[in-house]
Amino acid sequence: MVFLLFFICAVVTVITAIKLSTYADVLSEKSALGGMLVGTVLLAGATSLPEVTTSVSAIVLNNPDIAIGNVLGSNMFNILIIACFDLYYRKQQFFNGAAKEHIYTATVGFLLAVTAFSALIVQINIEIFHIGLDTLTILLIYIVGMFIIAKITKYENSVKPIPPKEEEEKQNTNAISLKRAIIGFVIAAIVILAAGSLLTITGDRIAVITGLGSSFVGSFLIAATTSLPEAVSVLIAIQLRNYNLAIGSILGSNLFNMIILAGTDVIYRPGAILSYVAPVHLITATAISVLSIILLYSIGRKTSRSSFTYMLPSILLVVVYFISSYLIFIQ
């Protein structure tokens, strides 16, 4: 029964994420926000709601390994998502068509990953207002980073003419009014929030039933499931040729996931949460740091003439992901 309920929650999450992506595309086209800002903030925050409820529920269940494993594992899986879609849609080379401002978002993501890695090594159990010094540092890096990104985006020309080919593909979403898109976006976000809570509860039971352990279940089974909204969002955005929305969704989601650590730390009573988790999370944090560097290169590099040369970074992303997954599994 628990496996069936887990599967149903996953299906509901996917279906809702499709609606969420469609409404986000309308918001990026009909509002003054633009694809990058909608993807990095609105869509990323909404698709990260399952991670929020999963991590909070894990703390309530006194299972910090699921909470941390879910956040770090989701970030790993998110990068795998963008790499796989890049390889599948390699002819479109959507990294080359992405706004270079995404470099700043990717840089902030890398800094957050390195900070989490350092915190897991040092494990300083010092709290300020019930927040660990390490997660407080992560929160400050996020706030400063988002402030800088917002300043950069402010000077962008968010209203860009749609090429004829794209305009034809936008007709379906353009039929949706801005008001309807806002209401639909909020409703879809609430549904995903509820599904994420059930995913955690059933995932915790699966960890007990199968004996796989909370760290592994949190880093893979739950992390992959809670990342389904990101996968669907990226797919829909790419099909709509809104590449900035696709990339911004993944990068923004990874940033948002990291500040979930601060939120879980507030409600985790024994102490700084990163000092109370299994050492295996070090492997995940290391993998995210390496993956972030490769992703940063993919966004900032010059246009590749050869398809094979273009695909190399994404191939490397997939290889690093599976090597890291194997190392976590044998632990």
Q: What are the structural domains of the chain?
A: 2-330 (1.20.1420.30)
- Mean pLDDT, the chain, rounded, equals 77
Q: Please write the tens of the pLDDT for every residue from 269-319.
A: 787 888 888 888 889 899 999 999 999 888 888 777 777 888 898 999 999
Least Cα distance to 37 among 292, 258, 249 occurs for 249
What pLDDT is stored for residue 219 in this prediction? 57
| pLDDT for res 171 | 46
Q: Is the dihedral of CA 218, 224, 230, 234 positive or negative?
A: positive
Q: Which of 19-33, 83-97, 120-134, 250-264 has the lowest mean pLDDT?
A: 19-33
Confidence of residue 51 (pLDDT cuts 50, 70, 90): confident
Helix axes 243-267, 102-122, angle to 10 degrees: 30
Q: Tell me if residue 127 falls in helix, strand or coil.
A: strand
pLDDT of residue 318: 92
CB 186 within 8 A of CB 192: no
Residue 117 has pLDDT above 80, yes or no: yes
Q: What is the pLDDT of residue 131?
A: 78
Whether pLDDT at 38 is above 70: no
User: CA-to-CA distance for 67 and 54, rounded, in angstroms?
Assistant: 7
Cα separation, 272 vs 286, whole angstroms? 20
pLDDT in tens, 184-239: 878 887 887 777 667 767 766 776 676 665 555 555 667 776 677 777 778 877 88
Which whole number is the average pLDDT over 35-45?
57
What is the mean pLDDT of the segment spanning 81-108? 83
Find where tokens 């950069």 sit.
152
Instruction: Note the pLDDT of residue 163.
Output: 47
